[in-house]
Amino acid sequence: MSSNIFDVENIRLDFPILDKTVNGKKLIYFDNAATSQTPKQVIDVISDYYLNYNSNIHRGVHFLSQQATELYEGAREKLKNHFNAKLNSEIIFTSGTTHAINIVSSGYSEILSEKDELIVSELEHHSNIVPWQILCEKTGSKLKVIPMNDLGELELDKFDELLNENTKLVFVNHVSNALGTINPISEIITKAHKYGAKVLIDGAQASAHFKIDLQNLDVDYYVTSAHKLCGPTGVGMLYGKKELLENLPPYQGGGEMIDQVTFEKTTYADLPHKFEAGTPNIAGCIAFGAAIDYINSIGLDKINNYENHLLQYATAKLNSIENVKIYGESENKTSVISFNVKGIHPYDIGSILDKMGIAVRTGQHCAQPIMDFFKITGTLRISFAFYNTEEEIDFLIDTLKKAIKILS
């Protein structure tokens, strides 16, 4: 799809921040994989909550509390429908992807033993490596790694070799934050299930780009963050199959998550409240639902087509610049481009782009194993959202060429 079919100019009007100037230049925001911008429809929901409904949920008999509870549970329903979970109670609100992963990894510390094995991929964000390392230290379980190839794709035949009857958990990201590779999670889930292993998919980089059907995937746990898909920061989702979440020990103790408390024994509340101890980020969760509505009002298919168009457009332009090397060249990618210019440190280029108003990410992208694989210390990463334009990419390319000239 070309940009003239997708009404990007109209969509940009929903994002007031895109009119901002930084360092005296018009902002060009190409750091969407770190966090996406928030449309005014979502911002309005947050301010509406504090102006009209602010109160604690699930407790008060009073009007405001009931209204807030309805909105909060309504947001859960929106997530359940959007991701096609079977039950509302399978959707747990968390503070983000990292929190969601930690709920699961912490629960498994009481389930796993020394003979058990876990499999992670080489393409992971640190947040989907470190909690499992901690888990293995606690339980004595063994952590194995699915390697990747030069294109930045997982080697599934090697995955076959790692699987066995002792495999208890497999955790892979749906999309790599550093390279943009879309992993074949459906195949991974099917293969893991043959050995009875459970699979956790980190969807932080996926859910903003294409439709995810949890029941169809038959995934055991799926986690994501609101702020990657036009929602607020500090909110995320843990999806888990009902029977698995029921058997997973609670992560935090506190109010909201209990059924009966005496000093002798506490019984826990049913799902989803068992994992939602304390007062949650109510406004944020409601806004997460609003963000889902916003994304669906445009349509993920349209978004995906348009972002792919931007990806192809930018990739071709970058490849035409001498000494540019792109990392992550899989045919299945989201709109993320990680690259370096030979002989120039990404930090230097990033600094100059910033002065020209262009926001990009430089560094290791919390994915040191990937950097080690390519034997580099970091990359420049540009990541597009559906509100970016070809013109912005043209300006990036021109500025990049100037930066290379100054720095060479």
What minimum distance in Å lies between the beta carbon of 130 and another protein?
18
CA–CA dist 217, 196 (Å, integer): 16
Give bridge partners of residue 239 from the DSSP assignment.
91, 222
Residue with tokens 């103790």: 253
Question: Which of 364, 363, 365, 357 lies closest to 403, judged by CA?
Answer: 357
Residue with tokens 């009902």: 242
What minimum distance in Å lies between the beta carbon of 351 and another protein?
5
Nearer to another protein, 50 or 347 (CB): 347
Nearer to another protein, 255 or 363 (CB): 363
Q: How far is CA 75 from CA 90, 161, 290, 292, 293, in A?
A: 13, 41, 8, 9, 10
What minimum distance in Å lies between the beta carbon of 88 and another protein?
38
| Joined tokens for residue 186 | 């459906």
What minimum distance in Å lies between the beta carbon of 28 and another protein?
17
Query: So which residues are the catalytic ones?
Result: 366
What minimum distance in Å lies between the beta carbon of 348 and another protein?
5
What minimum distance in Å lies between the beta carbon of 272 and another protein?
35
Nearer to another protein, 237 or 380 (CB): 380
Nearer to another protein, 96 or 350 (CB): 350
Nearer to another protein, 184 or 363 (CB): 363
What minimum distance in Å lies between the beta carbon of 347 and another protein?
4
Instruction: Please give the residue ranges that form the binding site for another protein (CB under 8 A).
Output: 23, 344-345, 347-348, 351-352, 355, 362-363, 377-378, 406-407
Nearer to another protein, 256 or 348 (CB): 348
| Cis-peptide, bond into residue 249, ω within 30° of zero | no
Q: What is the 3-state secondary structure (H, E, C) of the chain?
A: CCCCCCCHHHHHCCCHHHHCEECCEECEECECCCCCCCCHHHHHHHHHHHHHHCCCCCCCCCHHHHHHHHHHHHHHHHHHHHCCCCCHHHEEEECCHHHHHHHHHHHHCCCCCCCCEEEEECCCCHHHCHHHHHHHHHHCCEEEEECECCCCCECHHHHHHHCCCCEEEEEEECECCCCCEECCHHHHHHHHHHCCCEEEEECCCCCCCCCCCHHHHCCCEEEEEHHHCCCCCCCEEEEECHHHHHHCCCCCCCCCCEEEECCCCEEECCCCHHHCCCCCCHHHHHHHHHHHHHHHHHCHHHHHHHHHHHHHHHHHHHHCCCCEEEECCCCCECCEEEEEECCECHHHHHHHHHHCCEECEEECCCCHHHHHHCCCCCEEEEECCCCCCHHHHHHHHHHHHHHHHHHC
What minimum distance in Å lies between the beta carbon of 407 and another protein?
6
Nearer to another protein, 324 or 376 (CB): 376
The answer to whether 101 and 131 have CB atoms below 8 angstroms apart is: yes
Nearer to another protein, 286 or 367 (CB): 367
